[in-house]
Amino acid sequence: MGLAVGLVVVLVAGAQVMARRDRAEEARRDAAWRRLAGPSCPALEPKIFRAQARYPQATPYDEVLYRRFGGAMTCTHLVDRVGGAKLRYQVCKFSAPEYLAVAQEGMERFYDLSNGRSAAITVKKDQISCIVISPFKVK
């Protein structure tokens, strides 16, 4: 019986250490996503996006549709407290797409990221924002 109790204590302690490590890693990743900063993305005329001879890559993420010509994307969710309530929202990074379109609930925004610029799109409720960020590699 004593060996079983000792084993349980070791297992519980190990699980607690792993959980702390997981929370620390999650906090580190969240901080990296929150530190994204840069100027606003240049707007693009919708007719230029639609006039392209090829079809864009289309990726739905939650209730947002991202379409792009080139580049790769990676997304995550973050949670902020607003007036005591939790607000869960998405942030997506794009590595050098030529053009980018973001559509949500009847709204559509178009961005010109030519010349190898990367971008981060944040969608909070019905607000879409885009900033130009430093180049990055998608893992």
Between 41 and 3, the more confident residue is 41
Question: How many other C-beta atoms are found inside a 10 Å radius of the C-beta of residue 134?
Answer: 10
What is the mean pLDDT of the segment spanning 8-25?
54
Position 31: which residue type?
A
β-pairing verdict for 72-82 and 85-95: antiparallel
Residue 46: is its pLDDT beyond 70? Answer: yes
Query: What is the percent of the chain where pLDDT is above 70?
Result: 73
Count, residues in the chain: 139
Which pTM value belongs to this model?
0.75
